[in-house]
Amino acid sequence: MDIRQQMEQVRTRIQHAIAHSYVDRYIQPRTIDEDRISFALSMLRSTRVETSIALDYVFAMMLIQLALDTHDEVDKQQMMQKKQLTVLAGDLYSGLYYEFLAKRHDVSLIRRFAEAIKEINIQKIRLQQLSPDDIERFHCIGVIESALLRKLSEHVHAHEWGELAYYLFSLKRIQREEAKSKAMVDYTDHCKRKVQDLFYLHHEEVKERFSHLLA
């Protein structure tokens, strides 16, 4: 199975797992971040993890990512019912990740991902308190965007991928922001340099997929 087929399989599994006839009627279809799937699969392909296990790991990680992303949407909902279901959909996806890994008896990965969820939410709260020009924001963003991938990299002893995830996904997020301060521009350059330095360690498919971020 090539990486495209693997990505498709993970995406289909997620869509199947989160499908809910009532919730789907009221909340927007969730966006599944294919860059994360692709990055995680490339990382796992670089290790000795079996394909079926790799697919399970990425599936579980993406359920959490969806849960967290869904909860980010709560305060944007104007309609009460939409807001309520956005809260509960996120809770449900978190529960599904735990249920899935519990069935696999993978307590160690449950713990690693729980640590990531903890770190991400602390940094999200921290980020809310910082002024737009505070440079600590960049660290918050780095953790928010990469903690799950970093924990997964630790789980499969591919630590160097965690650092790449930190800069790569920071870069992706910062580039999405419309207004860019001087500090943001400087930090973007810093991330690009770090990514360039770290790219040599990694698979061609990662370079190919993310090279546009360096342009």
Residues in the site for another protein, rule: CB under 8 A?
Answer: 20, 22-23, 67-68, 71-72, 74-75, 80-81, 83-85, 87-92, 94-96, 98-99, 102-103, 105, 107-108, 110-111, 114-115, 117-118, 121-122, 124-126, 128-129
Question: Shortest distance, CB of residue 92 to another protein, whole angstroms?
Answer: 4
- CB within 8 Å of 127: residues ≥ 6 apart: 137, 140, 141, 144
**Nearer to another protein among residue 117 and residue 183 (C-beta):** 117
d(CA 172, CA 100): 29
In whole angstroms, what is the distance from residue 26 CA to residue 82 CA?
Answer: 6
Q: Closer CB to another protein, residue 53 or residue 107?
A: 107
Residue the block writes with tokens 């809770």:
91
Kindly give the residue spans of alpha helices, DSSP state H, lying in 73-203: 80-103, 107-129, 136-155, 159-176, 182-199
Tokens of 29: 């279809």
Nearer to another protein, 97 or 210 (CB): 97
Count CB-CB contacts under 10 A for residue 3.
15
138 vs 210 by CB, closer to another protein: 138
